[in-house]
Chain A
Amino acid sequence: MKKDNKTDQNTDIRTPFSEFVRKFKKQKTAVAASIVLLLIVLIAIFADFVAQYGINDYNYSEMLQGPSAKHLFGTDEFGRDIFSRIVYGARISLAIGFGAVSLAAILGAILGLISGYYGGIVDSIIMRVCDVLFAFPGLILAIAIVAILGPGLYNVVIAVIVFRTPTFARLVRGTTLQMKDSVYVQAARSLGASDARLLFTHILPSALPSVIVQYSISIGGSIMTAASLSFLGMGAAPPTPEWGLMLSNARTYVFMCWHYAVFPGLAIFLTVLCFNLVGDGLRSALDPKLTD
């Protein structure tokens, strides 16, 4: 084994990727967080096997019971199994997080590239719109959007996209401005590369590290936003097992049943924390200025 390693080191060229993996592995908390996150994702995917009960399997004779072998996290006010609901709820939260932020990242990257590369009036319009959106605190903007569109999970996704996009646009625009006059881009241009080719194959990759870090951190924040909106009654409608909605229902029983509020709260806490820790780890691993 030892020998193999040695030969690997000798023959391997240090690619940016291997460098990234090496740096990331050194971050113990980030690695641990990624493992927990992977677990959460697996639980969400295989929810049908993990959960013992359905999301709306009410049983009026088992209302508000504490944790037991039968109900791992206890039951809610309709006798539904809280553990199963949290497991299914992971699907919703992760889908919103990944879905909305992916769309925001794609949209933001395109806008940022256009804005940075072409400059002029296009740049002004895009950036002023972004400035307007930046002027509002995130959650307030999301609430305003949902208030206009009406409550519902799809509208929550739209709200998250709208308030996440400017961050990505600005990030990518910055890199584009830096790179568009660099020598290698000029070389590619002189070889006759089209604008699209220049933007997507030459400039965008330079922006990727910062986009990835932002992506990871944004997911955590977006899950929190979605949960907050549901908590306020502007997101998921009952009986959806959305974590924020569960927490909102639990408020009524907070004096009698600690478990009802604690477990959905913990689920949100753990997921958001892991995304943020992974984001931190990615930042350290991808930032060339930070040395080990």
Chain B
Amino acid sequence: MENNNKITEDANSKSLFPANETDRELYSIPANSGWFSWDAIHEIERNSLKDFFDGSSVSRTPKIYKEYRDFIICKYREDPSRRLSFTEVRKSLIGDVTFLYGVFVFLENWGLINFGVSSASRRSSSSSSLLFFDGEDERGGKVRFEERPPNGVRVVSGPYSSKVVSSSDVGDAVESAFKLPPLASYSDVFGDLMRFRGSVCGNCGEECSSVSEKVFSIIVYDDSGIRRICRFKQEIVLTVSPRDESANTDQESTVMCLKCCKIGSSGETNGGDDYKFKDSKDRSDNQGADFWSEAETLLLLESVSRHGDDWDLVAQNVQTKNKFDCIARLIQLPFGEPLLAELMANSIKESVNDRHSISGTDNNEQVQCTPVESPKILKKETENGDLMGEMEQVDDEHSENPPLKRRCVASVKEAGGSLMKQKELNLRVAHSLLSAAILATAVSPNIAAAAAEAALTALRDDIQFGMEEVFMGEMHNDTALLECYSSNDEPGRDANVVEFETGEQNALSETSEDKPAKPSVSLAFQIRAAAATALGAAAAHAKILADQEEREIEHLVATVIETQLRKLHSKIKHFEELGLIMEREYSLIQEIKESVVTERINTLQHFMKAGISRWKDNTAVRSFTSSVS
């Protein structure tokens, strides 16, 4: 469960916690209660409390249930640190106590009330702190301790007005680590995103069910140290707008649920093919700010080749664009397209060009993705090598990367006419690989991973097309990506990551937009499969790099430690030697002392024997005797 959600989580969490929202009062609820919403009654509630929904009595209607529910939750949230008891609740609610108790127990079991207030520590726990961090923090090592919110905070349910998330928020949101007081409902945290909730299918009038839910989790450590995963869903509505937008500029684009679109009941005048899916998040990405003129692109390429991955310098050179734009643009560049055109001039024109709107000159903005046989997905690692070889030709032209071995040059050339298509597919994979690989080599592993991941998120949105190949690829990628994340250690890069995401998503969603128009659906699947493969390979590459780095660091640390140890050892030895020397000297001194004493005694005896008492010397003798005694 967690693994599945991990990817979407990271893609979304950044946009979900804008920095300016930190003053909002939040409550946390357990992961499995993510379905809860103030505005609606969920299926779980219907199933668990059937009595309120089977119309068996006037005293039990959905409206009354909702009133009960909202009252109980509000009551609890007046003071979340205190355990709310049923007896307290029932005095203020009209209704059969048994059913009230049912609602109460239901809410308690789902953690919507009395969550984190263990019955054992009703009162004492109120001052204990909870530890929260989201996926971002987990990787970056940023951990926030959050005291419980002040008592008396009350969350009032209300309709959430709908507004559009522009991707410009995304940038602000990057660095904000979010805070979560103990109890938060989905709508409290993501009220802004709930604006989609109200969208109604333009065709069938139902509440839009084509909302694809993105789930992300928040890991919460409660006072008993138990790790809980909170899952929240972000809902993204697929906006369906008429294909020919220029012709319909005066007409408002309609939101239609997927159901309608699939059935093809989208109206008498329009066939289902005239609509394309649009991730509403991406809408703003296509706007003027992101438009790159040819001159700008050239400037970018030039400065990249000069300054490498020093993006500040690159951006300075390009002037009209900022750092993130430059990075995003570079990923999107269809490297090697000219070469391709030369190589495949004939076959492309004949077989593909008419079918794929993605080939040719008009797709400078897109990452090229092409079909690949499914077995290849599983062999990403090896394929990666092959394709890298192919890509290098492309590389040389753009002098983007230091040239590597030209391993597979021959393989491109030997491609016969019948294999042409297959070959072309490979090359297209190579493009996406190249862009990912450039990231991996020129930028840093985590950025490449983020780009790949973002693209995967986009792919995931299309899962309803039911392509198992991509699934396979994703499964594979998930692990690689997760591992990549573990090596993410530069919070400062996060901004870049987001930019990449938007860039990649943009590119990918553009490709997917084209799909419904195509006659062959399987081709679309294959294209996605190819994209997944390419990104997977990039991720794998990024992971390898990360691993290498890690190993290197480990090695260096080990060396340092070893040196220090050696130093210590030599010092100890030195001190031991010194000790020995001191001892020897000490014994020597002792001997000398002894010999001096005996000499004195001898001298004294000599004096005695001689019997000479020279009074002059008396003092000397006396001093001798005194010193001896």
Q: A and B, one complex?
A: no
Q: Taking beta carbons and an 8 Å cutoff, which residues of B are in contact with A? A: none
